[in-house]
Structure 1
Amino acid sequence: MQEASFSGFIRTLFYIIAFYYIFKFLAKLLLPLLVKKVVEKAGENFQKQQQNTQGNSWQKTPNNDEIIIDSANAKKTRETKKVGDYVDYEELE
C-alpha cells in the first residue's frame, strides 16, 4: 500500500493548474474559429433550404407568362369555434 506524499500532492496540483491554463489559452485561440465555421455551415444549410423550398413551391411554366403556386405546402387558416353571440352590456346608474 502506498502513502501519499506532500511532493506528489504539489505535483498533481501543479499539473491540474497547468492543464487549466493551457486549456483556457487554447480555447481563446481555437473557439472563435470553431464558432465561425459552425455559423458559416449553418448559413449555407439555411440558404440551401431556402432555395429548395422556393424551387418546390414556385414553378415557372415554359411560356414564362404565369406562375403556378404549389399549395400543398401553404398553411391553411384555422376557423375558430363560434360559441355564442356577443352581448354588449351597458352599466345602469
Structure 2
Amino acid sequence: MGLLRTILIIALVYYGIKILSRIFAPFLLKYAAKKAEKRFGDQFGQFSKGQKQEPLKKEGEVTIDKIPNTKASNKDVGDYVDYEEID
C-alpha cells in the first residue's frame, strides 16, 4: 500500500508541475525577454554614449588607449634538443 501511495504522489507532483509550467512558462519567458532587452539596450546606450564623447580625430591619426601586457620569455626554461626522425 505504501509503494502505491508513493508512486501516486510522485505522479501527481509530476503532472502538477507539468500543468503549472504550461501556465506560467509564457510569463517567465516574457519576463526574461524584457530583462535581456533592457540589458542589451543599456549596453548599447553606453556604447553609443562613449562614441559620442570621443573627440573627433584627424584622418590617419593613431592613438593607443591601452598598452598590452608583454611577458618576457624566460631563457632559463630548458635547452633546445635537435632530433631526427627514425623510420
For the superposition of Structure 1 and Structure 2, which TM-score range results when normalised by the shorter chain?
0.5 to 0.7
| AA in 2 matched with 1:9 | L
2:32 corresponds to = 38
Equivalent residues, number: 60
In the alignment, is residue 68 of structure 1 matched against residue 56 of structure 2? Answer: yes
2:56 aligns to what SS in structure 1? Answer: strand
1:84 corresponds to = none
- Which contiguous aligned blocks of 4+ residues in structure 1 show a shift greater than 3 angstroms? none
Cα gap change, 1:48/1:11 in structure 2, threshold over 3 Å: closer, same or farther?
same
| Percentage of matched positions with identical amino acids | 27
Q: CA RMSD in A?
A: 2.2
Cα gap change, 1:72/1:13 in structure 2, threshold over 3 Å: closer, same or farther?
farther
Larger proportion of strand:
1
In the alignment, is residue 14 of structure 1 matched against residue 2 of structure 2? Answer: no
Gaps of 5+ in 1: 1-6, 61-66, 74-93
TM-score normalised by L of structure 2: 0.60
Higher relative contact order (CA 8 A, sep 6+): 1
Higher alpha-carbon Rg: 1
CA deviation map 1:62-86 (0-9, x unaligned): xxxxx726x778xxxxxxxxxxxxx
Shift of 1:59: 2.7
Gaps of 5+ in 2: 58-62, 66-87
CA deviation map 1:2-26 (0-9, x unaligned): xxxxx11110010010001000000
